[in-house]
């Protein structure tokens, strides 16, 4: 059975228009959020399973929480690393990796820190919010550790770091996850690259994001103002849905391959 039969008729019709826009584009940008990893078993931030104990992500993903209780914040990241280490890229990640090889100019801008796009084979990736698998010196002395289970062949049973353990830098300071916390500025070069790519895009694909976190959420509108066709892939409406040209309502692991099959 054609898997797209599970999609609404409106989405099946819109797939043709979306494929035409992409086929005629010189430069395509995909902006992804936590939704693209949901099918891989990585909880989204604001959807089901996004909570850890009684905490919302915004309560833990900030410098004040880390300074106040680094062990609790590290326990949350260790739990997330464990969840991600047990997951695999899904058909949506793999489709975007193929589009990068197939289209003349394709850039992936992701808000996700899970590293699954790279695992799926994407190379031209702008990681807006950092990468959960790197740890850096909290005092920014320059020490950076890559603790990815895929690169370092770590025993997937081990935990990063052991619960309650506080990883320390060689300079004596604490280590912290190399991610952008709420209230922290994004790396200027990384953000600048994302803005340049979105501003130059003929098509922007907005995949699996609630469109609530800035400055990432401003990129689709920036692309649209610069003449790009905007396509949203999401299982539910978001604040961006009103302003995009094409809405593809459905799970990215189903919609992206269906879109690719029409190119």
Q: Does residue 136 interact with ligand BV8 by CB under 6 A?
A: no
Choose between 51 and 105: whose C-beta lies nearer to ligand BV8: 51
Question: Other CB atoms closer than 10 Å to residue 66's CB: what's the count?
Answer: 20
233 touches 241 (CB < 8 A): no
Nearer to ligand BV8, 107 or 238 (CB): 238
Q: Does 220 bind ligand BV8 (CB under 6 A)?
A: no
**Can you spell out the DSSP letters for the chain?**
--GGGGS-HHHHHHHHHHHHHHHT-SEEEEEE-THHHHTTT---SSSTT--BTTB-HHHHSSHHHHHH-HHHHHHHHHHHHHHHHT----HHHHHHHHHHHHSSEEEEEE---S-HHHHHT--SEEETTEEEEEEEETT-SS-EEE--TTTS---TTS-SS-TT---B-TTSSBEEEEEPPTTSPPPHHHHHHHHHHHHH-SEEEEES--S-STTGGGHHHHHHHTT-EEEEEESS--TTTTT-SEEEES-HHHHHHHHHHT-
Among 47, 70, 121, 257, binds ligand BV8 (CB under 6 A): 47
115 in contact with ligand BV8 (CB under 6 A): no
Q: Which does 182 bind (CB under 5 to 8 A by kind): Zn ion, ligand BV8, none?
A: ligand BV8
The verdict on 133 binding ligand BV8 (CB under 6 A) reads no
Binding mask 109-148 for Zn ion (x = CB under 5 A): ----------------------------x---x-x-----
The phi, psi pair for 133, rounded to 5°, reads -85, -10
- Does residue number 55 form part of the binding site for ligand BV8 (CB under 6 A)? no
Residue 246 found at the interface with ligand BV8 (CB under 6 A): no
Among the residue ranges 12-20, 23-31, 41-49, 197-205, the one whose residues contact ligand BV8 (CB under 6 A): 41-49
Task: Determine which one of 80, 81, 118, 129 is catalytic.
Answer: 129
Q: Does 208 sit near ligand BV8 (CB under 6 A)? A: yes
- Phi and psi at residue 169, in whole multiples of 5°? -80, 160
**Is 117 a catalytic site residue?**
no
Contact call for residue 46 and ligand BV8 (CB under 6 A)? yes
CA-CA distance, 74 to 58, in Å (whole number)? Answer: 14
Indicate whether 263 belongs to the interface with Zn ion (CB under 5 A).
Answer: no
User: Pattern 150-169, binding to Zn ion, x per CB under 5 A?
Assistant: -------------------x
| 160 near ligand BV8, rule: CB under 6 A | no
Q: Which does 41 bind (CB under 5 to 8 A by kind): Zn ion, ligand BV8, none?
A: none
Binding of residue 174 to Zn ion (CB under 5 A) = no
Q: Could you say which of ligand BV8, Zn ion, none residue 237 binds, taking C-beta under 5 to 8 angstroms by partner kind?
A: none
Radius of gyration of the chain (CA): 19
Asked if 87 is part of the footprint of Zn ion (rule: CB under 5 A), the reply reads no
Contact residues toward Zn ion (CB under 5 A) are 137, 141, 143, 169, 171, 173
């Amino acid at each position: 059975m054609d898997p797209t039969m599970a999609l609404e008729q409106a989405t099946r019709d819109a797939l043709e228009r979306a494929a035409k826009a992409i086929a005629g584009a010189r430069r395509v940008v995909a902006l992804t959020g936590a939704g693209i990893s949901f099918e891989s078993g990585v909880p989204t931030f604001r959807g089901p399973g996004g909570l850890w104990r009684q905490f919302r992500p915004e309560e833990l993903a900030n410098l004040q929480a880390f300074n106040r209780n680094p062990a609790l914040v590290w326990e949350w990241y260790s739990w997330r690393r464990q969840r991600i280490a047990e997951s695999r890229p899904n058909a949506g990640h793999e489709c975007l990796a193929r589009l990068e090889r197939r289209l003349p100019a394709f850039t992936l801008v992701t808000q996700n820190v899970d590293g699954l796009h790279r695992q799926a084979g994407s190379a031209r990736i702008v990681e807006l919010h950092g990468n959960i698998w790197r740890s850096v010196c909290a005092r920014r002395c320059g020490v950076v550790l890559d603790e990815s289970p895929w690169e370092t062949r770590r025993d997937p049973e081990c935990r990063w770091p052991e619960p309650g353990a506080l990883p320390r830098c060689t300079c004596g300071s604490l280590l912290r996850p190399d991610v952008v916390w709420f209230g922290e500025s994004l790396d200027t070069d990384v953000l600048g690259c994302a803005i340049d790519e979105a501003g130059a895009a003929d098509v922007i694909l907005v995949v699996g994001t609630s469109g609530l976190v800035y400055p990432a959420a401003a990129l689709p509108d920036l692309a649209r103002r610069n003449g790009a066709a905007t396509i949203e892939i999401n299982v539910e409406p978001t604040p961006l849905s009103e302003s995009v040209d094409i809405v593809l309502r459905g799970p990215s692991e189903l919609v992206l391959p269906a879109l690719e099959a029409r190119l």
